Amino acid sequence: MIVTKIFDAVVLINIIQDLDFEEILIDWGKNPRYKQWTSYEVNLEVQKNARLKLNKLIALDIIKIFKPVPSNDIKQIQNLNPKLSIADCSLIYHYTKINNAICLTNDLHLRKYFIKNNFWLSGTNGIYLKLLKDKNIPQEIVEEKFNALKHDSRVFP
Amino acid sequence: MTKYIDLHSHLVLKILNGLNAEPIVGKIKFQKIAFLVLKNFDDIFEFFDFKPHKFGPFSESLDYALEESKSKEESIIENETIKITEIGKAKLSNLDSISNLNVKEKINKELIEKTIDTIKEDFKNFTGKEILAFIYKSFPDYIDDSIIADSIDYKNIFLGLYERGELGISKIAELMGWEFQKAYDFIRKNAKLLIL
């Protein structure tokens, strides 16, 4: 898979999850129960796996990164939110710049930020995902995946 | 009273009144919250002249303004907890109302108030030592002259903050200068409670 319009690492993770989230997120066979699926431990594995996969895709030059967030913009966001990491701030930057984006996150700090700043935030547990309605991602695929998620009460309690 | 003292007194009262007048425990924490707030406002920051001190960035003029507010009963310090008093609130209200602000200054004032609320809330559950560890790692220029920077167990402090949901793994990696994997392994090995 080649994704051409990619911004930075954090958004990348989410784009990968958008496209392959069944594969990256959770092995449903291994974690069939609600309790497991929503546990912090499983989520931590998910986050790690997504990052490792991302690193590999970058190393293999399958995904190219361009248009990183300007450092001044990162600094501005981080000064106001010093507890957020640069990666978190990158996500926030892109999230505010991109239209029609839906963010599903169970990251505590990002959730706090989004809630405080009146961003549209869906989902409260079990999944760390951002769907980007980018022209490089066919709209119908995004809609199909999002609708599938919406029908799953584990994502939308 | 000079303009600068007004600015300092005004800020002291604003910080104490921020986040529904949530008290601040300890002068160290008060100074650090002021520092983090003012880092967002370069034009004002320079007036406070924060310097590396025994316990991190410290503004003598801000400390003076805090003491002055205490002596005027605009604030009280009980068991290290610093609070604004009703007199302080009235003074702040008065200062805010007499300010003849242009549009830019008005926006700036609102931004300062919002930043104070944000920073106070973000660090509400941090102890003085925890906020100090956070600042030393975030602003290493202020380590000079510290008498405790070398003795702080940063890893354990950040681990504790992680377990209380105060810091995420990527932030800990950033503060410690670690790769994400290292931070992940550290948390995985040592945390009693895993939080994303």
Contacts of B180 in chain A (CB under 8 A): 51
d(CA A17, CA A50): 7
Q: Which residue has the higher pLDDT, A123 or B46?
A: B46
d(CA A52, CA B23): 43
Together in a domain, B63 and B7: yes
Per-residue confidence band for A14, with pLDDT thresholds at 50, 70 and 90: very low
Q: How far is B187 from chain A (nearest CA, A)?
A: 10
Together in a domain, B12 and B108: yes
Q: Kindly determine whether residue B170 and residue A88, on different chains, have CB atoms separated by under 8 Å.
A: yes
The pair phi, psi for residue B81, each rounded to 5°, is -85, 125
**Buried b / exposed e across B67-101, counting CB within 10 Å, b at 16+?**
ebbbeeebbbbeeeebebbeebeebbeeeeeeeee
Token pair listed for A153: 């009460």
The pair phi, psi for residue A133, each rounded to 5°, is -85, 65
What distances in angstroms separate CA A48 from CA A83, A90, B64, B138, one per listed residue?
A: 20, 18, 48, 24
Per-residue confidence band for A101, with pLDDT thresholds at 50, 70 and 90: very low
Together in a domain, B16 and B112: yes
Q: How many CB pairs under 8 A join A and B?
A: 60
> Which secondary structure element, helix H or strand E, spans residue B77, and what is its range?
strand B75-78
Per-residue confidence (pLDDT) for residue A59, from 0 to 100: 66
Per-residue confidence (pLDDT) for residue B102, from 0 to 100: 75
Together in a domain, B165 and B89: no
Q: Which residue has the higher pLDDT, A33 or B42?
A: B42
* Domain annotation covers residue A1: no
Let me know: does A4 contact A64? Beta carbons within 8 Å.
yes
Together in a domain, B147 and B120: no
Per-residue confidence (pLDDT) for residue A132, from 0 to 100: 37
Together in a domain, B152 and B100: no
Count the domains in chain A.
1
* Domain annotation covers residue B30: yes
Q: What's the DSSP call for residue B58?
A: B
Q: Kindly determine whether residue A109 and residue B168, on different chains, have CB atoms separated by under 8 Å.
A: yes
Together in a domain, B55 and B38: yes
Is B194 at the interface with chain A, CB within 8 A?
A: yes
Is A81 at the interface with chain B, CB within 8 A?
A: yes
Together in a domain, B150 and B110: no
Largest pairwise CA distance in chain A: 44
Per-residue confidence band for B188, with pLDDT thresholds at 50, 70 and 90: confident
* Domain annotation covers residue B160: yes
* Domain annotation covers residue A14: yes
Is B119 at the interface with chain A, CB within 8 A?
A: yes
Lowest mean pLDDT among A23-37, B65-79, B143-157: A23-37
For A40, which of B123, B184, B194 is closest by C-beta distance?
A: B194
Cα A127 to the center of its chain, rounded Å: 9
**Which among B79, B108, B124 is the end of a domain?**
B124
For B118, which of A40, A80, A109 is closest by C-beta distance?
A: A80
Q: How far is B165 from chain A (nearest CA, A)?
A: 7
* Domain annotation covers residue B195: no
β-bridge pairing B81-84 and B24-25: antiparallel
* Domain annotation covers residue A29: yes
* Domain annotation covers residue B31: yes
The residues, any chain, with a CB within 8 Å of residue B147's CB and separated by 6 or more, are B54, B55
- Give the SS3 label for residue B29: helix
* Domain annotation covers residue A157: no
* Closest CA in chain A for residue B175: A85
Count the domains in chain B.
2
Let me know: does B116 contact B14? Beta carbons within 8 Å.
yes
* Closest CA in chain A for residue B168: A109
d(CA B125, CA B93): 28
pLDDT digits (tens, 9 = 90+) for B63-117: 999 999 999 999 999 999 999 999 999 999 988 887 667 777 777 888 999 999 9
d(CA A67, CA B135): 30
d(CA B157, CA B152): 8
**Which among B79, B102, B124 is the end of a domain?**
B124
Let me know: does B116 contact B18? Beta carbons within 8 Å.
yes
The pair phi, psi for residue A4, each rounded to 5°, is -95, -30
Residue A142 belongs to domain spanning: 9-150
* Domain annotation covers residue A156: no
pLDDT digits (tens, 9 = 90+) for A107-143: 667 667 766 776 554 433 323 333 333 444 455 655 5
Together in a domain, B103 and B140: no
**Which among B124, B148, B172 is the end of a domain?**
B124
* Domain annotation covers residue A71: yes
Least Cα distance to A91 among A45, A49, A50, A150 occurs for A50
Together in a domain, B79 and B40: yes
* Closest CA in chain B for residue A76: B40
Together in a domain, B52 and B104: yes
Is A40 at the interface with chain B, CB within 8 A?
A: yes
Together in a domain, B28 and B120: yes
Per-residue confidence (pLDDT) for residue B184, from 0 to 100: 79
* Domain annotation covers residue B107: yes
Q: Kindly determine whether residue A85 and residue B174, on different chains, have CB atoms separated by under 8 Å.
A: yes
d(CA B178, CA B183): 6
Task: Give the mean pLDDT of chain B.
Answer: 89
Task: Give the mean pLDDT of chain A.
Answer: 54
Residue B74 belongs to domain spanning: 3-124
